[in-house]
Amino acid sequence: MSNTTGTDSRRARRSRGSGGLVQGLRTSIPPVLVTLLLFVLAVPAVLVVAPGFVGPGSPAPAPSAPAWQQLPATISAPQVLAPLQQSAPVPLPSAVTAQVDPLLKTDGGGTFTGVVQDASTGQVLFDRGGAEGRVPASNLKLLTSVAALRTLGPDHRFATKVLRGPAPGQVVLVGGGDVLLGAGESQPEQTLGHAGMATLAALAVDALRAAAATGEIKVLLDDSLFTGPALNPAWLAGDVEAGEIAPLYPLALNSARFDPAVATGPRPQDAAMAAAEEFAARLRAAGAGAGLTVAAGVDRSPGAATAAGAAGQMAQPAVLAQVESATVAEQVDLMLQVSDNYLAETMGRMTAVATGRPGSNDGATAAVGAEAGAAGVASDTIKLADVCGLALGNQVSARQFADVVRAITTGADSRLRGALDGFPVGGLSGTLDTRYGDAATAGGAGLVRAKTGTLNTVLALSGYVVDADGRLLVFSFIGNGLTQGAVGNKQALDRAATALAGCGCR
């Protein structure tokens, strides 16, 4: 209590003292000066108290940012390649020959042939044995690409279907040409794995549930779309054993690979059955929550997609579910970029089916040869043993390949433009990603776009390039009988193509 009383007493004395001071000022100083003094004392108090009522004052202006951090006043023009001009000068054949001929020499045995053409006019600018039939290796995939784009169309997709089976409790998985199926969910943004078995199984379970299906479900496999031998007898046993190719079926996971990330080594020898067993496993997992059970094992039942109808007539059974592949153009691009033999052979057989031929190797080679001719390539001397280029019995000339590239780049059939993105780019992508890195070829990096071809004694490079004057040139160089493993041969091809990229050959 004493402490409280003492504090209040001191406050009272301070209050009286302040009042006395003001009163003294009032009696001793004129009223005008008193008013002025009070105003001077009040201004600082207002400045201290006012922010509590009106908020903080405006912040100090930020220091000006450097020009490179400020928003642009205008949008810069995009930096893109200028369109090709028809007025760009056509190189002189003598000048092109002088540039290319000394570079195109073998490292050891064998010979190179080659052709360079102006893409717009077709004028031949360089020709060394260009009409001679050669083993082309994977350059053959260019012919297969043209055939697929012409017959199937760049926007076509292959459907993998699940149909109601010929007997109660059966479903039929039908291969429709998609060998890039994934095991999991569909990945619409991808080419490999665009359609997935897990997605197909989930859709099939939904359809079975809607149909009030009960009991055990048996999966059958229909892979009858392809006929004839699954392995081409023209392929060397060593190439099959090394995983360069595998038996052909109209459906497969990962282009008939065990693992999509592993492109070498052993492959499934029955890719269709491996895909069907994966589907059955996914169906079993998806159906568990819906009260459906799936029988163990898958039975192959070619032709099971056609079930007996009323009065003995044959009728197409109901489609329970289906998933679709990436487009033909997207698959062609992948095939050319990574030089996928299995995908190329599949494209050839699907081309055969689309033209009314059997889905066999013979049907594929006949269809690809015919479509090359229809695209404007003089095809009477073309000899095909397969459509991926693995067989040594293929014979195609450098002139024919230059004509094929010309048809893709500037020909009248715009469907063939679907193959343009598939050409590997020197030093950047696909099978050319590790080339064009030395001093002699760096000038072609990012400029040379070409399909490679490699067998033990065969090297090929066919593609296109814009020269230093802005002229589009197409070319094909093919080496046969080469010394196996001689590093100078690839360098010769790359240096010749680089010379074209830098050519102001006037």
Q: How far apart are CA 109 and CA 484, in angstroms?
A: 9
**What pLDDT score does 67 carry?**
65
pLDDT < 50: residue spans in the chain:
1-29, 32-41, 43-56, 79-81, 306-313
Q: Is residue 179 within 8 Å of residue 194, measured between CB atoms?
A: no
**What pLDDT score does 475 carry?**
98
Q: For the CA atoms of the chain, what is the radius of gyration?
A: 38
Longest dimension (CA), the chain: 131
**Catalytic residue check, 379:** no
Cβ within 8 Å of residue 468, ≥6 positions away? 501, 502, 503, 504
Domain ranges of the chain: 93-153+355-501, 159-326
What's the token pair of residue 295? 């029988």
Q: How far apart are CA 404 and CA 426, in angstroms?
A: 20
- How do residues 255-281 score in pLDDT, each as one tens digit? 999 999 898 899 999 999 999 999 999
Q: Is residue 301 within 8 Å of residue 172, measured between CB atoms?
A: yes
**What pLDDT score does 505 carry?**
84
Q: How far apart are CA 396 and CA 146, in angstroms?
A: 15
**What pLDDT score does 43 carry?**
46
State the fold for domain 93-153+355-501. Answer: Beta-lactamase (3.40.710)
Q: How far apart are CA 450 and CA 336, in angstroms?
A: 9
Dihedrals phi, psi of 314, to nearest 5 degrees? -95, 130
**Catalytic residue check, 138:** yes
**What pLDDT score does 159 carry?**
98
Helix H segments across 50-157? 51-54, 93-100, 141-151
**Catalytic residue check, 383:** no
**What pLDDT score does 14 carry?**
37
Count Cβ atoms within 10 A of the Cβ of residue 93 and give its class: 0-12 exposed, 13-18 middle, 19 or more buried. middle
Selecting among 301, 325, 339, 360, the annotated active-site residue is 339
Q: How far apart are CA 160 and CA 164, in angstroms?
A: 14
Q: How far apart are CA 450 and CA 120, in angstroms?
A: 18
